[in-house]
Every structure is written in C-alpha cells, then in structure tokens.
Structure 1
C-alpha cells in the first residue's frame, strides 16, 4: 500500500503513513455502537467512525509528542496529555473520561511512579463504571499502534487515558449518530466556533454542511455514513480538527457506498 504524503503542518515520525493505519477496526466500532443503540450500522458508517476516532487520537498523540519533545523525551506521560489539551482546546474530547482518570482529578495528590503507574493512596475513589469506561480496554491495541506510527511510546497511565478518551468519544459519537437517525436530522446546534486568544477565528461552515444537520436520507433503522458525518460536526468544535476529521472520514469511505 502506498503511503499518503505527509501534511506540511505535521512533522512527527512516520506521519506519512498515518492515513494507512487502521487501528480501530469496523468490528470494534460496531461493538461500541451495539452498547448504545440497536440500530444497524452500515459498513461505510463503521469506517467513518473508525476514521474519526483515529484522527482525534492521532492529533492528541501528536500534541503530546510535541510537549514531550521539548523535554527530549519520546515516552509520553499524562502530563504531556494535559499540555496538549492546554495548547489546543480542540483536543478536549471524551470529557466524560476525565471524571474517572487520576490525570484529570484535580491533579493535586496524584503521584506516578517511574513507569507512569498511579501510586495508590489511602483515599479510595468511587466505583462509577459507565459503559464507555467499562469497554475502554478494547482500544489498547489501537492506541499502541497509533503511538508506534508517531514514533513514541507511552507510560501505562497515558495509554489508559488515551484508551478511555477513545472509548468515551466513540460512545458519544454513536449516541449522536443514533439521534440524527431518530430525528431525521440533527437539531439546530448553532454555529459557534472557538478560537485561541490572538489567533484569527476559523471560517464559518458552508451552508451545505449546516443543511446536513437538518436533513437526512434513508430509513430510521440504519446509521449511515452521512449520519456519522453529522455526529462529527456535533462532537468536534472549532475548525481545524473538525474539518480534518470530516475530510479523512470521507476519504476512508470512498470505496464504500454512503449508506
């Protein structure tokens, strides 16, 4: 398989092959969707959902890699994840995972050992286990594959966080896609976009993109590719990451029918 050319704004190791990596298989995507909805998930929808999950995780890993590189490290830690999100608010996805990860739990009092494993404390946390968190371990192999494609490794705590973020993000994506199908199209979600201080605001979304949120074709028993594209617009804010995710999801489904 011929590698895709690297995007100029990305400079990580093996970036050119990122589009060739398919760490989150359609079968895994469908398993997550089954936890959320009894609706059928089309082949192209599963590929689109796998693609956007890959895109989001790749961007997070790339941001963390850059943070680690500033300290001449190639092994990522939870601190690098926090730095990546702090520097790019678009990467703040899968937020429900934050309530279950020591990385995001106030940070004070959380201690990691040399391998990035949380040192147990006397205070015991709650045992809330929503379905997205229970199934987070399913993404470990894909996360490690993405890490290798970026030329880095990660401590166990970092892998766990990426696992959890991927699981929650895909679960939320499934819920939104199912909502789009049930309601015959997305509700009016507005066109608010976020821009970093001192940077120009991203361009407004084309009218065609907004119309895609209000109308859909097909039955109300099957989640199709266009329903995933509408859910991507709901889940991802800002401009850069959303547009990249949409473009790569479309590219990933070029050989399949939109349904």
Structure 2
C-alpha cells in the first residue's frame, strides 16, 4: 500500500506541507501530543505521525476486510477486528484500548450477533467506559474515510474500536517520541521479521536507517520528524514497521526533518 503523494503549498514566507487525501488532520494529532508533552511538535512531525497512524489503521482494516469477505460481507463487525489481529501480530497496537472495549473481552463471555451488537452475558466482567481513554473518539471521521477507501463499512462498535486504537497508538507514539527527545535517541531497538511457511521472505530492512535514528540531533524542546520515525521503531516491528517508516518519509520528503 503506497502513501499518498505529498505536495508543498506556498503561503507567504512559509511552506506548508500538505498530504493529499490524509484521513487524519494534523491538528487532531497535535492535540493528542499536547495531552502527553509540553514539547513543541513540528509540522513535519505531525505529518509523520499522521502517516504512521494511517499505515497501521489501513493494515488493520485490510485484515478485517479479508476476514469479512470469507463470510461474503462488506460490513465489518468486531469479530473481524479480532480475526485481523489474531492473524497478524504486527498490527496488535494500542493495546491499552483493549481494557476499555467489549470487543476484547470475549474470553469473559462477550458475544456478537450478525450485526456486531453485543449479546449480554452475566459472565462479562465490569468494564471501564471507553471515554476514560484520553483522546478517544477524535478520529471517527478519518476511520470512516479509510473504510470507504477499502470499499467497506463497519458497525458502530467496530468504528469505535478503530477510533480508540488510533487514539491509544498515537498517545504511545507521542510518549516514545518525547522520550527520544529527552534521551537524545533510541537507546534500545531491534528488528523482528516474521516468515510464513510457503511464502517468500520479506525484503531485508535497511539496518542503516535504524542506526541513523538511534542518535538524534537538535534541541530538546521540539519533537521533529525523525523523533517520530524513531518512536515508530519502538512501537512497531516487522514489515509494517518498514512500510510505516517508508511512507512517513515519502509524505514528509519536501519538508525539513525537524
């Protein structure tokens, strides 16, 4: 899945980076960062975070879409989300949301009907409200755009889960980016490659790119694009990490790394 092309627009003395067709507004992304840190977030950093989140959500939706297709459905329901994550551990992100969502409480007796509506069960544990997650429910419009791009729709519970996962993932990304700034780089990182029997091995990741992100330059007051890329190496692994980094670089290539 390729990234949307980036283009630069001149507005007075400033060059504003515009990512055509972006489902998530950088202003919303910056709002999540403000809940985490007082550091300034550069424009290119906001676009990079937007791109990484889009890559992750697109992959999750694609997996859910394929699960729904097996039942000849184009409307996604919560069990499609569980199937997508179960089949691809690389997209298991924003896991703090799981504590707030009935979708991830199936082991406690939560079941869904054909429309994705929760079937009540006395065995279900008491859950905290989804609204308890800071920043949740900001990305519903963007989630619906991503769903439309893949030719599917989703029941409200599924949209809510994708919204919550995006919010929690961005919060975790913001925390890690702030840590990278404070510590002057990524102190620990690694590469994980998953291979499926009978399928060709994915192309090797550019280790030089990871090493380049392990030490940062710049002040300790601003989160820049490379800090987001470094945080991405912490949050993601495998082929989705490679794709997220590549697409984030592509959409910010006409903007300084800061």
TM tier, smaller? 0.7 to 0.9
Cα deviation, 1:54-81, whole Å, max 9, x if unaligned, reads 1100011011101111111000011111
Instruction: For residue 215 of structure 1, give the secondary structure of its aligned residue in structure 2.
Output: coil
Residue 205 of structure 1, CA deviation: 3.9
**What does 1:71-220 correspond to in 2, within 5 Å?**
71-113=71-113, 115-121=115-121, 125-127=126-128, 133-189=133-189, 191-198=190-197, 202=202, 205-220=205-220
The residue that corresponds to 2:251 in the other structure is 252
113 and 206 in structure 1: CA distance in 2 versus 1, 3 angstrom threshold = closer
Q: Work out the CA distance in 1 between the residues paired with 2:257 and 2:57.
A: 24
Instruction: For residue 111 of structure 2, give the secondary structure of its aligned residue in structure 1.
Output: coil
Cα deviation, 1:22-80, whole Å, max 9, x if unaligned, reads 11111011000000000000000000000010110001101110111111100001111
Instruction: For residue 138 of structure 2, give the secondary structure of its aligned residue in structure 1.
Output: helix
The residue that corresponds to 2:14 in the other structure is none
The residue that corresponds to 1:34 in the other structure is 34
115 and 207 in structure 1: CA distance in 2 versus 1, 3 angstrom threshold = closer
Instruction: For residue 168 of structure 1, give the secondary structure of its aligned residue in structure 2.
Output: helix
Instruction: For residue 28 of structure 1, give the secondary structure of its aligned residue in structure 2.
Output: helix
User: TM-score, normalised on structure 2?
Assistant: 0.85
Q: Work out the CA distance in 2 between the residues paired with 1:193 and 1:145.
A: 31
Instruction: For residue 237 of structure 2, give the secondary structure of its aligned residue in structure 1.
Output: coil
Q: Is this contact kept in 2: 1:193–1:202, CA < 8 A?
A: no
Residue 20 of structure 1, CA deviation: 4.4
Q: Is this contact kept in 1: 2:99–2:127, CA < 8 A?
A: no
The residue that corresponds to 2:11 in the other structure is none
> What count of residue pairs does the alignment treat as equivalent?
241
Q: Work out the CA distance in 2 between the residues paired with 1:214 and 1:124.
A: 42
Q: Is this contact kept in 2: 1:116–1:157, CA < 8 A?
A: yes
Residue 185 of structure 1, CA deviation: 0.5
Q: Is this contact kept in 1: 2:173–2:232, CA < 8 A?
A: yes
201 and 114 in structure 1: CA distance in 2 versus 1, 3 angstrom threshold = closer
Q: Work out the CA distance in 1 between the residues paired with 2:85 and 2:252.
A: 29
Residue 192 of structure 1, CA deviation: 4.1
Q: Is this contact kept in 2: 1:173–1:235, CA < 8 A?
A: yes
Q: Is this contact kept in 2: 1:36–1:171, CA < 8 A?
A: yes
Q: Work out the CA distance in 2 between the residues paired with 1:209 and 1:176.
A: 18
Q: Is this contact kept in 2: 1:184–1:215, CA < 8 A?
A: yes
The residue that corresponds to 1:13 in the other structure is none
Q: Work out the CA distance in 1 between the residues paired with 2:200 and 2:146.
A: 31
Residue 178 of structure 1, CA deviation: 0.4
Q: Work out the CA distance in 1 between the residues paired with 2:218 and 2:131.
A: 31
4 and 187 in structure 1: CA distance in 2 versus 1, 3 angstrom threshold = closer
Q: Is this contact kept in 1: 2:4–2:21, CA < 8 A?
A: no
RMSD: 2.3
